């Protein structure tokens, strides 16, 4: 009895995963959750090798294998080289998580001010990286594989947070691409979905100016996130690992929001009217 519940707990045993931007923040939470569930994890990073090695050590503490792989996902040739290292080390792939952030703080700019360079930078690290990434991993991926991209629901569906314009447009593109890739890869049992993380602690949010961080986090805690707290990388890792389970094989092409209920709140009605 004990043994079978342990096996259930490690439902991704024998699977091979690649997480882009797996060294820090949400990507680290995803890498660690997949490792906890038994998957071997390739941890991609761009410049923070120490963080990637630290994540690898934590993957290994969870009894899983892994390795780190430096690649800038904005560069198609570097994506190709990352995937060939995965082929060399793992020989196969079951889970591809498109998570890397890109230089968000460099391309945050309102719609009427964003430069062509900023627009391209956002596109190269998001929609184009996913376009190239899926095409590169497709051959290596075994049947019944899982592809997950990380998105942000208010960015892809709303328009109020103006500096998020280039990123939000790309997040919308990622979600659309999931639907097309889902149909294209369905004959092989490969599912393709987007998880929209809500505002998450221990992530890019913690690199914003202190005042902005505090304003955002206290807003969420005030009730605009019904669960009363920001998300954690572990929360998002849990959502991704759930989609990677064998039993989730019928869910494909979907955009799933994991935000503690934040997207359920109405901006048109005072918060006090929305409290339970």
- Interface ranges with ligand NAP (CB under 6 A): 20-21, 23-27, 44-48, 51, 72-74, 99-102, 125, 150, 152, 197, 199-200, 203-205
Least CB distance to ligand NAP at residue 265 (A): 16
Least CB distance to ligand NAP at residue 197 (A): 4
- Given CA atoms 56, 49, 82, 232 in this order, what sign does their dihedral have? positive
Least CB distance to ligand NAP at residue 63 (A): 23
Q: Which residue is nearest to ligand NAP (CB)?
A: 25
- Phi and psi angles of residue 231, each rounded to the nearest 5 degrees, phi first: -75, 170
| Nearer CB in complex with ligand NAP: 47/113 | 47
Label residue 130 exposed, middle or buried (CB < 10 Å: 0-12, 13-18, 19+). Answer: buried
Least CB distance to ligand NAP at residue 273 (A): 26
Strands 191-197 and 66-70 turn out to be unpaired
| Nearer CB in complex with ligand NAP: 99/255 | 99
Show contacts of 177-186: CB within 8 Å, 24+ apart. 177/127, 177/130, 177/131, 177/134, 177/149, 178/147, 178/149, 178/253, 178/254, 178/255, 179/253, 181/134, 181/147, 181/253, 182/252, 182/253, 183/253, 185/138, 185/145, 185/147, 186/252
Catalytic: which of 2, 171, 180, 181?
171
Least CB distance to ligand NAP at residue 186 (A): 25
Least CB distance to ligand NAP at residue 163 (A): 13
| Nearer CB in complex with ligand NAP: 11/103 | 103
Based on its alpha-carbon atoms, the radius of gyration of the chain, rounded to whole angstroms, reads: 18
| Nearer CB in complex with ligand NAP: 120/249 | 120
Please indicate whether residue 33 is annotated as part of the active site.
no
Strands 40-45 and 191-197 turn out to be unpaired
Catalytic: which of 45, 152, 164, 181?
164
Residue 147 neighbours by CB under 8 Å, 6+ apart: 95, 96, 97, 98, 134, 137, 141, 178, 181, 185, 190, 191, 192, 193
| Nearer CB in complex with ligand NAP: 19/64 | 19
Tokens in use for 237? 């890792």
Using CA atoms, how far apart are residues 98 and 108, in angstroms rounded to an integer? 20
| Nearer CB in complex with ligand NAP: 90/152 | 152
CA end-to-end span of the chain = 40
Please indicate whether residue 171 is annotated as part of the active site.
yes
Catalytic residue positions? 164, 171
């Amino acid at each position: 009895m004990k043994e079978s519940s342990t096996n259930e707990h490690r439902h991704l045993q024998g699977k091979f995963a690649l997480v882009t931007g797996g060294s820090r923040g949400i990507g680290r939470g995803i890498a660690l959750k997949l490792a906890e569930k038994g998957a071997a994890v390739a941890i991609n990073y761009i410049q923070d090798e120490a963080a990637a090695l630290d994540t690898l050590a934590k993957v290994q503490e969870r009894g899983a294998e892994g390795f780190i792989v430096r690649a800038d996902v904005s560069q198609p040739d570097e994506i190709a080289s990352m995937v060939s290292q995965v082929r060399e080390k793992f020989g196969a792939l079951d889970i591809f998580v498109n998570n890397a952030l890109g230089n968000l703080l460099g391309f945050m700019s309102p719609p009427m001010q964003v430069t062509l360079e900023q627009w391209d930078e956002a596109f190269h690290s998001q929609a184009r990286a996913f376009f190239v990434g899926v095409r590169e991993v497709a051959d290596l991926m075994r049947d019944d594989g899982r592809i997950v991209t990380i998105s942000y629901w208010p960015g892809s569906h709303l328009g109020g947070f103006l500096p998020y314009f280039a990123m939000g447009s790309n997040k919308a593109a990622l979600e659309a691409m999931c639907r097309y890739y889902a149909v294209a890869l369905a004959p092989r049992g490969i599912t393709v979905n987007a998880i929209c993380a809500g505002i998450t602690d221990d992530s890019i949010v913690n690199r914003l100016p202190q005042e902005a961080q505090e304003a955002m986090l206290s807003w969420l805690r005030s009730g605009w996130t019904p669960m009363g707290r920001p998300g954690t990388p572990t929360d998002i890792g849990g959502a991704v690992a759930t989609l990677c389970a064998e039993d989730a094989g019928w869910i494909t092409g979907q955009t799933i929001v994991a935000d503690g209920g934040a997207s359920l709140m109405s901006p048109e009605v005072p918060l006090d009217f929305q409290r339970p």
